[in-house]
A = this chain, B = another copy of it.
Amino acid sequence: MSNLLDGIKPTLLMGPGPSCVYDEVYAALGKPTIGHLDPYFIKIMDAVKEDLMAAIGTGNHLTMPMSGTGSSGMETCFVNLVEPGDKVLILTNGVFGKRMEDVAGRLGAEVDSVHFEWGTPVLLEEVEKKLKGKSYAIVAVVHAETSTGVRNPVAEVGRLVRSSGALYLVDCVTSLGGIPVRMDEWGADALYSGTQKCLSCPPGLAPLSFSDRAVNRVKARKSKVPNWYLDLTMIMHYWEGNTRAYHHTAPINMIYALYAALRHFLEEGQDKAHARHQDAHERLVAGLEKLGISMYVDKASRLPMLNAVTIPQGVDDAGVRSRLLKEYGIEIGNGLGTLAGKIWRIGLMGHTARPENVDRLLAALASCIK
C-alpha cells in the first residue's frame, strides 16, 4: 500500500490561504499530545490567549481560538449574538459579506444589507444613511475581503456603529498578521480570524474575541444558544478561571501550532511583520505592471496580503494556474462568484510575504503568459 503522504510536494502557497507554514509551526504540530485538562496544557492555553489579545489589540477576557476553521468563527459570533427577529445589518462587498448574510439569516435574524461593488470598499456615507434609518442589534463588516482584495475602513465604520448603539462585528480572517488589527481602538464587540492566512499556521482554528458588551448580550439571551458546539457560555468555562470545566476536547496539537505561530508574529514584531507584507505587495505590483498585468482594486483600498489582478485578455485562467502549480510548484487563487474568470488572487500572507517568493512568482508568471 503506497503512502500518499510521501508524495506531497512542498508548494509555494500564494493563493487566498493557506499560506506557507513556518518550520517552528510544523515542529509544534508534532509535539507530544497531552491531556486537554492537563495543567501544563492549560498553561499553554493561557499563553495562547495572552498572545492573541496582543495580536488583535484587545483587553477582552473572552479571547481564544474556536475549535473549527475561520468560518466557524463567523458562525460562533452570529449564533451566540443573534436571537430570532434581531435586526442585523451586513456591509457587503464580496463573498464573505454575502456569507455573513446567509449565516445570520439561517439563525432567524432580520437581515438588511448594503451592497457595494465588488472590488470597491464600503462607503461611510451609505453606512451612516442606513444607520439613521433603523436601529440595529448588530452591524457586521469584513476587514479584508479575501474574495476581492479590498480593505474596508473598519475604524471609521466602528465610530458610526458605536454611536448607533449596535454591537459591532468584524471579520479579520485575512487581515490578522498582515495589517494592523486593533479591536478595542475600533470599538469592535466581536471579532474572529483564521490561522491559515497571515499567521502562517495550517487551517483548523478560529481565533475569536468578544467584548464585555457582547458577553453581556449573550448572557441576557432569552433562549439557549441554538448550537451546543459553539456555545460561548459553556466554552468560556474551559478557557477561563481557576477550575476549567470540560466542554469538548480541544484540538490540542493545533493549539500548539497556533502558540508557535503567534510567538513568531510577536517576536518578529507586529510593525515589522506588517511592513514585510507591504514591501512584498509593492514589489509584486511593480513586477506585475512590468508584465502588463493590472491590479483590480484601486490603490487606496488594496490589501497587501491579497492581490486581486485582472487576468490579461486572451490568457487561459485555469490553464495558467494549473501550469504554475504543476511546473513551478506555485499556487495562486481563482476568482469567486462574479469575479470567476476575471481575476486571479495572489496571496502574500505571513511566511509567504518575502521578496524571493514574489520574484519566483513573477518569473513563473512571465513564462506562463508569454
Contact = CB atoms under 8 A, between A and B. Distances in A.
A343 to B, nearest CB: 15
B44 A5 contact: yes
Interface string A265-304: 0010000000000000000000000000000000000000
Contacts of A44: 4-5, 8
Contact of A69 (B31, B250, B257, B331): B250
Interface of A: 1, 3-5, 7-11, 13, 15, 17-18, 20-21, 26-36, 38, 40, 43-44, 47, 67-72, 74-75, 79, 99, 102-103, 105-108, 194, 196, 202-204, 224-229, 246-254, 256-257, 259-260, 263, 267, 325, 331, 336
B9 A204 contact: no
Contacts of A3: 263
A216 B35 CA distance: 39
**Chain A facing B: main interface SS:** loop
Contacts of A246: 336
B204 A204 contact: yes
B35 A331 contact: yes
A68 B71 contact: no
Given A70-B249, A253-B204, A106 B33 contact: no
Given A250-B203, A251-B254, A75 B228 contact: yes
Contact of A68 (B9, B103, B229, B336): B229
A366 to B, nearest CB: 22
A204 B4 contact: no
Contacts of A267: 1
A247 B336 CA distance: 12
